[in-house]
Amino acid sequence: MLSLSCGDDDKGPTGDNGNGSDSIVRISQEGSHPTLSPEGDWVAYKTDSGIYRSPIAGGDPEKIFSYGLEPDWSWVHDLILVRAGGITVFDPATGDIVQTLAVNYDDGPCWSPSGAEIAVQDGGLLVVAYPDGETSRVSCADTVDSGCEGEWPTWSPDGQTLAFEDGLDIMTIPRIGGGIATPVVYNLWDVSYPTWSPNGDWIAFLMEDSTHQNAHIWVSDARGKGYGLYQLTSGKYIDYGPAWSPDSKFIYFARRQVDSAFYYTPLGIWRVKFGAE
């Protein structure tokens, strides 16, 4: 495990040594894009046959919806959205569709902490009001590259700031008013899938290694990588789609084993511990 840090060292990671340490466990045999329930007792995820959920304490997975991509669980509404026909919102307890918002966008639908908005990427950052579906664009200027791509947006716990992937960087921007984006992770390898911890201190993300074949879960201090930067997984894997537990102590992610430059084996959903006891 690689750990680069300064500042609050007592908040450092546990992580994985790449050889199956006690801090990393397998939750599900299949799936991608995990998302946690409000109480942290279930993890939902996408499979080829629909949206499933598995109990964190162990047990058989349950199918809860028949289709959709990129599930995200609202901890306010206890509803899950998926990318399907725009944004489709369903009740995980019954499987009933609550609403479908006919919104055109590129990727990454993500509930705001209040449940009143959904952020997506659409050639930048687009915010969709819930439940009426009205859209507004977040004004964003990037001094590093030509513009704010807004990929895989994620909200700060207070709902005041959005973080997003911007090419090779992770940036933040105020939700209200926008402005000039602030770099958090930059001048490293390719990064993706940022997700803000519920306690507001950290942003987890995927980062490629120098081979450009493997990718691992990293965590940056939300103030910027200079305050703390940690690698949590390693090995010949593509680890992606990180999702925090409500207590900010665990990160769930999907894993693929890299068999060669062009082939890999899906390995399902995993959990890695973060933070000192």
The answer to whether residue 52 is domain-embedded is: no
Residue 158 lies in a domain: yes
Q: Does a structural domain hold residue 190?
A: yes
Q: Provide the pLDDT confidence category of residue 3 given band limits of 50, 70 and 90.
A: very low
Predicted confidence at residue 276, as pLDDT, reads: 54
Q: What is the pLDDT of residue 34?
A: 98
User: What is the secondary structure of 84-152 as a DSSP string?
Assistant: SSSEEEE-TTT--EEEEE----SEEEEE-TTSSEEEEESSSEEEEETTT--EEEEPEE-SSSSS---EE
Number of domains in the chain: 1
Give the mean pLDDT of the chain: 90
Residue 55 within a domain: no
Lowest mean pLDDT among 76-85, 143-152, 155-164: 143-152
Residue-wise pLDDT tens digits, 119-153: 999 989 999 999 999 999 999 988 766 678 899 99
Give me the CATH number covering residue 28: 2.120.10.30
Q: Are 168 and 206 spatial neighbours (Cβ–Cβ below 8 Å)?
A: no
- Our measurement of the distance from residue 149's CA atom to the centroid of its chain's CA atoms, rounded to an integer in Å, reads 17
Is 223 a member of any domain?
A: yes
Query: Tens digit of pLDDT for each residue in 20-62?
Result: 345 899 999 999 999 999 999 999 999 999 999 999 998 999 9
Closest CA to 163 of 136, 202, 189: 202
Q: How do beta strands 24-28 and 3-5 pair?
A: unpaired
How many Å separate Cα 84 from the centre of its chain? 18
Inside any domain, residue 264: yes
Task: List the domain range (segments joined by +) for residue 212.
Answer: 3-40+123-273
Q: Name the band, by pLDDT with cuts 50, 70 and 90, for residue 187.
A: confident
Does residue 229 lie in a domain region? yes
51 within domain boundaries: no
Q: Could you tell me if 172 and 200 are in contact, meaning their C-beta atoms sit under 8 angstroms apart?
A: no
